[in-house]
Amino acid sequence: MKNIAVLTSGGDAPGMNACIRSIVRTASYKNIEVYGIQYGYQGLIENNLKIITNKDVGNTIHIGGTILKTARSDEFRLKKGRDKAYQNLKKNNIDGLIVLGGDGSLTGAKIFGDENKFPVIGIPCTIDNDLYGSDYSIGFASARETVVDAVDKIRDTAASHERIFIVEVMGRESGYLALESGIASGAEMILIPENKKEIKDVITDIKKINEEKKSIIIIYAEGCKLGRLDKISKKISKSIPGSNVRYSILGHIQRGGTAVPSDRILGTILGYKSVDSILNGEKNMMVGLVENKCLLTPLKEIINKERGINKEIMNISKIISNY
């Protein structure tokens, strides 16, 4: 194997750059050239790639986002698009592909690898932390840090005005970000999609908490689907006379910002491991860190198995937040 390629796909996640840097430097150590594909799978279809060197990745370990840019590609979902992508890899004498991304990107990686018998290694990158095969995905710890920082600030004003604050965090399918940032910020209530609740039960719980304290922080994962936050806020206000309800949608700030040290370290370890694995002949695998050990799991398992929420942590959060 002489040349490999790397791309970032789907949602960006802080720590992707630390991972790309590690891939390039590991490959260089092993005398392999790395092609950086710009704009994910779409860039591969359009042959948008160039060699990246050790120097190119200097001073990038801390930077959020991805220096390779990312994109979503509908063309890659079709066999015709994937065929074009394969032709471009062959044209550039590339013998292996490393894909950084979430569930969708790794699904695409698996299909592409199977279809073309081409060595592909996936690296888990998603602030949702919803992938099987790794205790943590790159980007999660940084997003958690951002959410906790924001909630700490919101709490100051919530406490001063004795307000009930609903803070919406990212997580359409998974409540990991809500759960861990809720615990770390001392939220009174954490609402996640894995633990579905009716709005009437939520209001009953808030009433109970409200008997003890007026300032309440509710962390709300976007996938809870209890309705629009302005409507939920009004319902709570109406049900609890004298309550002072506000909401805040944190939105895209959760994706940005410098990568925290644990994401830089995770990115560095998984980047190294991905190159090492592909050179050892591994294919259609994802590298992950499980109980502090680097493990390879077939992409087939990654996309078919649910990670699920950690029930023990969920129970602890309920006891501690006191509802």
Instruction: Examine residue 3 and tell whether it contacts ligand ATP (CB under 6 A).
Output: no
Contact residue for ligand ATP among 47, 56, 63, 77 (CB under 6 A): 77
What Å distances lie between residue 171 and 115, 143, 155, 181, 235, CA to CA? Answer: 31, 11, 21, 12, 23
Which one of 95, 103, 114, 128 is the catalytic residue? 128
Q: Which residues pair with 290 in a beta bridge?
A: 293
The answer to the question of residue 43 lying near ligand ATP (CB under 6 A) is no
CB atoms within 10 A of CB 203: 17
CA distance 3 to 247: 50
- 46-54, 59-67, 97-105, 207-215 -> range binding ligand ATP (CB under 6 A): 97-105
Task: Check: CB of residue 145 under 8 Å from CB of residue 180.
Answer: no
| Choice from 22, 38, 126, 274 touching ligand ATP (CB under 6 A) | 126
Backbone conformation region of residue 232, classed left if phi is above 0, alpha if psi is from -120 to 50, else beta: alpha
Distance CA 206, CA 237 (A): 11
Q: Choose which of 66, 105, 142, 277 interacts with ligand ATP (CB under 6 A).
A: 105
Note if 128 is an active site residue.
yes
Our finding on whether 272 is near ligand ATP (CB under 6 A) is no
Which residue is nearest to ligand ATP, using beta carbons? 104
The two three-digit tokens of residue 178, written as one number: 């809500």
CB nearer to ligand ATP: give 21 or 82.
Answer: 82
Does residue 73 bind ligand ATP (CB under 6 A)? yes
All residues at 6 or more sequence positions from 63 whose CB lies less than 8 Å from its CB, including other chains: 17, 258, 259
Q: Is 4 in the site for ligand ATP (CB under 6 A)?
A: no
Beta strands in 172-309 (DSSP E): 189-191, 216-221, 245-249, 285-290, 293-298
CA distance 267 to 259: 10
Taking CB under 6 A as the rule, does residue 104 contact ligand ATP? yes
Piece in contact with ligand ATP (CB under 6 A), picked from 5-13, 195-203, 206-214, 279-287: 5-13
Piece in contact with ligand ATP (CB under 6 A), picked from 3-11, 232-240, 289-297, 315-323: 3-11
For residue 121, give every residue at least 6 positions away whose Cβ sits within 8 Å of its Cβ, in sequence order, or none.
96, 97, 98, 99, 274, 277, 278, 282, 283, 285, 286, 287
Judged by beta carbon, residue 131 or residue 209, the one nearer ligand ATP is 131
Any contact of residue 69 with ligand ATP (CB under 6 A)? Answer: no
We find the least distance from the C-beta atom of residue 64 to ligand ATP, in angstroms, to be: 14
Q: Which residues bind ligand ATP (CB under 6 A)?
A: 9-11, 41, 72-73, 76-77, 101-105, 107-108, 111, 126, 128
Q: Which residues are catalytic?
A: 128
